[in-house]
Amino acid sequence: MDLGYDHYNIGMELLESGKFTEAMQSFKASLSLQSHFKTYERLYDCCKQLGYNEEAFQYIGFAFANNGANDKVAYAYASELSERGRSKEAAEILSGVLSRNPSYKKARELLTRLQA
């Protein structure tokens, strides 16, 4: 029995039901047992939905630090960096995403805006 994974799955059900605060509790319980970049990413999603932007930024930063090769996480982190005026860092990350996945449209669009 993997309690960390069980808490993660409960968190996913709550997240999909729009119960963001409760989902956060489950994801935090999962993290207390097992660290995983996807759990940090889901905490980011919850925080964004609740308007906890600084906490969201921290969680997507943890997710990126744990798996910077995940294109969705890298894009979200680059977007957050961009919103904070850290365009050079965001552009470097987006370039990495596009080198792995040239068809990632949202990453290309954000990089184009940053370079304009």
Give the pLDDT score at 2. 82
58 and 74 belong to one structural domain: no
108 and 80 belong to one structural domain: yes
Angle between the 71-83 and 53-66 helix axes, to the nearest 10 degrees? 140
75 and 63 belong to one structural domain: no
Separation of alpha carbons 80 and 89, rounded Å: 10
Q: What is the pTM of this model?
A: 0.94
Separation of alpha carbons 77 and 97, rounded Å: 11
Q: What is the mean pLDDT of residues 68-92?
A: 98
Q: What is the mean pLDDT of residues 38-62?
A: 98
51 and 96 belong to one structural domain: no
The tokens 């963001």 sit on which residue?
A: 20
pLDDT tens figures, 91-110: 999 999 999 999 999 999 99
Domain of 7 in residue numbering reads as: 1-67
Q: What is the CATH number of the domain that holds 16?
A: 1.25.40.10
Domain count, the chain: 2
Give the pLDDT score at 1. 62
Please determine, for residue 78, whether its predicted confidence score (pLDDT) is greater than 70.
yes
pLDDT tens figures, 1-32: 689 899 999 999 999 999 999 999 999 999 99
3 and 55 belong to one structural domain: yes
59 and 73 belong to one structural domain: no
45 and 87 belong to one structural domain: no
42 and 5 belong to one structural domain: yes
